[in-house]
Structure 1
């Protein structure tokens, strides 16, 4: 009865403030996790989680000696954490002082997107100048695992140097497509489905047909560098954008890869040298 009476005494304003308090705590925890994401502090958190579980287990099972030992680790562990991770703590406090802690997530995401676009642009520019044929497919919503299985697994970070080396002629991986999943090179030397459209120009080779074929059955973005002319092209959603300059290539790739959904869902028309033909 007393609990019910206490609930009745709580006003709507107090409820709002209590909810706000909980939401703020969760938001602070979320921002803290984004700050340590990708750092060695993540492994530390995993280790602490294991120690806490072990402490609970030793208490329940009455393993007194081990329980005492784990308690000592916990008591002194927080001091050790402050000493070991002093640089990370100082950096976080500096960001709070500069008011940048709430901007870190977006900044990291923008930096990563810029790095990926620059890597693609640099590799495509190098291969186009030397007429090195290339085929790079980027997974979006539709999974490409069935095509990844036809190639050689890599699971490597994207870099211009690695992409260039993959497509150097007469190397084991140059024949076929590179598939990018979750911003990493998942596999190379993959086979893509060829388009069976009767409207494809006869001047287009196997790479363009494979890129169009994949775009007809998935929402993947595929970059093509022609071995014969060095021309740069992109396919997506059944569209073929040919003879792109490096500036056009960068803008179009950024829009398709990281832009809003409506930008990537283009009308079913082909772009030939910057002009749309029906």
Structure 2
């Protein structure tokens, strides 16, 4: 039963991916044949569920519309298309991972609570497969996201370079020791914190636009700290023998919930900080 359900889920996901890919191709053909878009800058944005959307002149646009916009210039959308395919493939793998683990656990739980060795073996293999899918999905998603960022930045840089000589600022999110952080670039040249602060201080409008991002980032750092403390406390209660009593064990679930909730809230504020930063930098890049 478990194997049959697993196969049906895999077939459904494969069919979904193929259908979604075909629909996107049809939409791109439709837009390229019937819709003409003025050349405008593109601002990449992240949504609450790990997906992406784009702002063009302040209006939300789909990936297909953005591809049409890019194809109206000498810079074609090949890099963006590859990035989108890799990103979406990574998301599918990431969403498939917990399904695989859950399906494999059903057989074990229904077989005398794991007494059946075959059910336990299937659960073990499914868990390893699920972890592998999660790791592979995250790598693909990150690589795809990086390609999408590079494609939109290159498009904006080529569009802006026809009439402006001021720095072209962009941002990349990176994972730091205490949590996510942002690095800034002038074109492809990395900027130190001091260099970026100098550009920001010499442009009051940019500084004002980035204050909202600063607020989100400070809130994210607060919840990063809470999450890190919760993680350390949880590990201590589990690993250190002196803490392993019934009283302390009753704190494991609250600590786990605090850790997970804080991590989720921190990620949400980091996402808002990155989104508002991209909007502010784009406004700076295309201000005469």
Higher helix share: 2
TM interval, short-chain normalised: under 0.3
TM-score calculated relative to the size of structure 1: 0.23
TM-score calculated relative to the size of structure 2: 0.22
Question: Which entry has the higher C-alpha Rg, 1 or 2?
Answer: 1
Higher strand share: 1
